[in-house]
Structure 1
Amino acid sequence: MKHILVVYASHYGATRRYAACIAKALHARLAEARDAAPLLAGADVVVWGGGLYAGGVNGAKLLAKNAEKLRGKRLIFFTCGLADPEEPADLPALQQTAQRALPAALRENAAVFHLRGAMDYAALSPLHRLMMGMMKRMIERKGDAQTGEDRQFLDTYGKKVDFVDLSAAGPLAALLRAAAGDAAGEIR
């Protein structure tokens, strides 16, 4: 059986929830991105998850910084955000964001997944609240040119929403089980 390391970068907890469930189901080690560098050498398969924030992926800089340690390893990369990956109109933007976040040297060995997250505006830092307010104004100015993702953003703005569906990580876990030669538990 191969050694699996599940790494996550999460500001408010949704990405951490997915990562913890994946690690538990696969009997894998769980680490925050900031603590992962010394653990990468011992891993055969690395799951790296990051929350989507302002068109970027949380933890992407650390991923790039450690790209050499990940070269040749099986990488499963997932993003976590409000956009619905089941909505065909949202998928291109999610894929583009993931491609920008993944270092070129790692793209060939990486499988990419997108999962829905959560948002509690009351829990946002003042900086994130300010950024979300600016984003809202930019989207409102688009008028009829708003995308489905834009409309989802406006629908959830200022609210507490939770779209986390741990079972949505099932395909990711199935790929991991196959890569690790393991028949570990289900994601729940």
Structure 2
Amino acid sequence: MTAVIYKSKYGSTKRYAEWLAEALGADLLVRESVRAERLRQYDTLIYGGGIYAGGIAGISLLKNCFPAAEGQRLAVFAVGAAPETPESRKALLSKNFTPAMAEAPLFMLRGAMDFGKMTLKDRMMMNLMKKMLDKKPEEEREEWEKNLMSLWGRASDWCDPANLQPILNWAEN
């Protein structure tokens, strides 16, 4: 049995989790309603959370309980606005994965960004990031920083069920 567990703030992670659970015939579980002991009944756990300040939302559930049972498989998908880079992958792994989770694959998916739907706190954090980027010469900006600046203030949505194919391939092996 497979469980897709997710924590979503603005909806992108929820959309991916719903598509994934449907494609796999898996149970769909909301992070806030899941206790670690419930996860022991599953052979495969796929966890999804949004990326906020380098952390994967709600991943503490897995950090505190994995491996819950011998033979369980684990995969994690992280959803953010920026495209994946080797640096962002390395940072997510080091900040969010414990040694027990080291063998689990990390899938990075692009979500959506809508400044109009952000909380005041998130808008303030984004504005601080923009101020920092404004001070950085454009030729020194990383690709994701240039991309973010080009999208500033607009709603953008990169969610696509096709982005789930690598996870589906992993789950079916």
Scaled by the length of structure 2, what TM-score is found? 0.91
Q: Distance in 2 between matches of 1:70 and 1:33?
A: 19
Decide whether aligned partners of structure 1 residues 72 and 106 sit closer, same or farther in structure 2, where only a CA change above 3 A counts: farther
Alignment: residue pair count: 171
Quote the sequence identity (%). Answer: 31
**C-alpha deviation, 1:15, in angstroms:** 0.7
Structure 2 gaps, min length 5: none
**C-alpha deviation, 1:36, in angstroms:** 2.3
CA offset digits 1:68-95 (Å, max 9, x no partner): 526652111111111223xxxx232133
State the partner residue of 2:5. Answer: 7
Scaled by the length of structure 1, what TM-score is found? 0.84
State the partner residue of 1:186. Answer: none
Moved over 4 A (4+): none
Does residue 124 in structure 1 map to residue 140 in structure 2?
no
User: Do the aligned residues in 1 keep the contact of 2:47 with 2:75 (CA within 8 Å)?
Assistant: yes
User: Do the aligned residues in 2 keep the contact of 1:15 with 1:51 (CA within 8 Å)?
Assistant: yes
State the partner residue of 1:42. Answer: 41
RMSD: 1.6
State the partner residue of 1:53. Answer: 52
Does residue 168 in structure 1 map to residue 163 in structure 2?
yes
Q: Distance in 2 between matches of 1:16 and 1:6?
A: 10
Give the letter for the 2:54 counterpart. G
Q: Distance in 2 between matches of 1:162 and 1:70?
A: 37
Decide whether aligned partners of structure 1 residues 70 and 119 sit closer, same or farther in structure 2, where only a CA change above 3 A counts: farther
Structure 1 gaps, min length 5: 179-188
Q: Which has the higher contact order (CA 8 A, sep 6+)?
A: 1
User: Do the aligned residues in 2 keep the contact of 1:71 with 1:105 (CA within 8 Å)?
Assistant: no
Does residue 155 in structure 1 map to residue 150 in structure 2?
yes
